[in-house]
């Protein structure tokens, strides 16, 4: 009985410490990354999905609120900004190739962004979803901070948008390779751009792990799609009565 009380007191102390939740998040990702590498980079063994399952499981079992968890792990959230900016370095190193493919990049960016917006809207309409949910889903293909900002602007629910965006990234990173293989897309610049455009940061990480050139173009698509979508969605709301 005494031992149980000691363990309980230790747990109460640990969960009250911000460092515990930061350590849990990093540890969960390392476990996911371990299995990802053991699977020889199988796209279905997604380290982000695994780490989400581990952290969610711990929060559910221990009955800890997300707010409490986030207060401890928010340093990782803070580092997302510098990490995204750091992607500019490999992009700059490939600037000559980017300039060469600028025409294809622009066309792919506009068509891909519009397809993501309209396909989401019309499929959600077919399923008779509420407008608030539809608006929350529309910016799902861009990185979460931008998607949440767009969602709030057009009347969606930012927290729901964040969940949908993460799911989109995991699905895209997991099945994107198979889709591109079926379509016989072999060019690494095209494959990388498709990953970044369709599944933002998670897809970019997947592309980076497979090929350097693909990773650069995925990072480029990640940034450009955020800009394009943040312009296109408000513009479409003014031009079309969604």
Q: Name residues whose C-beta falls within 8 Å of residue 43's C-beta, 6 or more positions apart in sequence.
A: 173, 174, 175, 176, 177, 178, 206
Tally of structural domains, the chain: 2
> Does residue 163 sit in the same domain as residue 69?
no
Q: Which pLDDT does position 81 carry in this prediction?
A: 72
The string of DSSP codes covering 152-198 is HHHT--HHHHHHHHHHHHHHHHHHHHHHHHHTT---HHHHHHHHHHH
pLDDT digits (tens, 9 = 90+) for 91-120: 888 899 899 989 999 999 999 999 999 999
Q: Which pLDDT does position 1 carry in this prediction?
A: 47
> Does residue 149 sit in the same domain as residue 218?
yes
> Does residue 113 sit in the same domain as residue 73?
no
207 compared with 4, residue with greater pLDDT:
207
Domain boundary pick from 63, 80, 97: 80
pLDDT digits (tens, 9 = 90+) for 77-95: 777 778 777 888 888 888 9
Print the domain residue range for 172: 88-239
pTM, two decimal places:
0.80
Domain boundary pick from 80, 97, 112: 80
- The predicted model gives 184-190 an average pLDDT of 91
């Amino acid at each position: 009985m005494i031992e149980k009380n000691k363990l309980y007191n230790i747990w109460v102390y640990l969960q009250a410490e911000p460092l515990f939740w930061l350590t849990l998040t990093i540890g969960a990702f390392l476990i996911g990354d371990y299995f990802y590498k053991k699977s020889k980079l199988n796209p279905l063994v997604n380290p982000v999905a695994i780490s989400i399952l581990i952290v969610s499981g711990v929060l559910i079992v221990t009955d800890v609120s997300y707010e409490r968890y986030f207060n401890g792990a928010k340093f990782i959230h803070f580092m997302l900004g510098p990490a995204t900016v750091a992607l500019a370095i490999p992009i700059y190193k490939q600037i000559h190739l980017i300039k060469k493919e600028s025409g294809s990049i622009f066309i792919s960016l506009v068509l891909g962004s519009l397809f993501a917006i309209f396909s989401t809207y019309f499929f959600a309409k077919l399923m008779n979803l509420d407008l608030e949910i539809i608006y929350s889903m529309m910016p799902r293909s861009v990185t979460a901070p931008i998607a949440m900002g767009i969602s709030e602007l057009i009347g969606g629910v930012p927290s729901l948008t964040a969940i949908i965006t993460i799911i989109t990234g995991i699905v895209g990173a997991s099945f994107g390779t198979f889709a591109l293989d079926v379509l016989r897309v072999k060019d690494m610049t095209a494959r990388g751009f498709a990953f970044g455009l369709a599944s933002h940061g998670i897809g970019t990480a997947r592309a980076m792990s497979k090929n350097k050139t693909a990773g650069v173009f995925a990072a480029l698509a990640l940034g450009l799609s955020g800009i394009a979508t943040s312009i296109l969605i408000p513009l479409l709301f003014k031009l079309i009565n969604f």
